[in-house]
Amino acid sequence: MEKRLNVPIKDENLDEIKAGDVVYLTGNILTARDQAHKRLIEQGAPLDIEGAVLFHAGPIIAKNDDDYQMVAIGPTTSMRMNPYQSEVLDMGPKIVIGKGGMDDTVREALIRNNALYVVATGGCAALYVDAVEKIESVDWLDLGMPEAMWNLKVKDFGPLIVAMDSHGNSLYD
């Protein structure tokens, strides 16, 4: 089944989505890798992350004067976020985008928070960039460009495959 979702995500939007479904996202998504996850836990979020989508990605960004332009954005290996992801999910995000599987602590957090883990296809960084309409803002640039939290306005971002749903199902079982 294919679903098109608007971000921020509401709980009722996720009730019928199951592992194996395909989703496309429109709205804002936030990039967050290891260091951003750690900082979210230590300092809290710089933006409202209730209903947010977090993308395990280190985008390639070009800077022109005071403006940023997305060059490429693809998923990074999500299991690196396992130590942080369940606690971050408890802070309100509803969808996590990444690559590869995540552990049972994340599965439990997805169930507890009615959230999804979806996978983006690795190697499609140039394709995904076409769905990025604008870089809205950046936080934590002191962590470095790939580790910073980029707030991206996207339209029909996908296809993304639901790998772990809010009912405990996983394509990795």
Residues tagged active-site: 37
The answer to whether 16 and 58 have CB atoms below 8 angstroms apart is: no
Contacts with 46 (C-beta within 8 Å, 6 or more apart), sequence order = 139, 140, 149
Q: Which tokens in the block code for residue 122?
A: 């690795």
Which residues face 153 on adjacent strands? 28, 134
Instruction: Map residue 41 onto helix, strand or coil.
Output: helix
- Alpha carbon of residue 129 to chain centroid: 14
User: Number of helices and strands (H, E) in the chain?
Assistant: 4, 9
Q: How many CA atoms lie within 13 A of 55 on its CB side?
A: 30
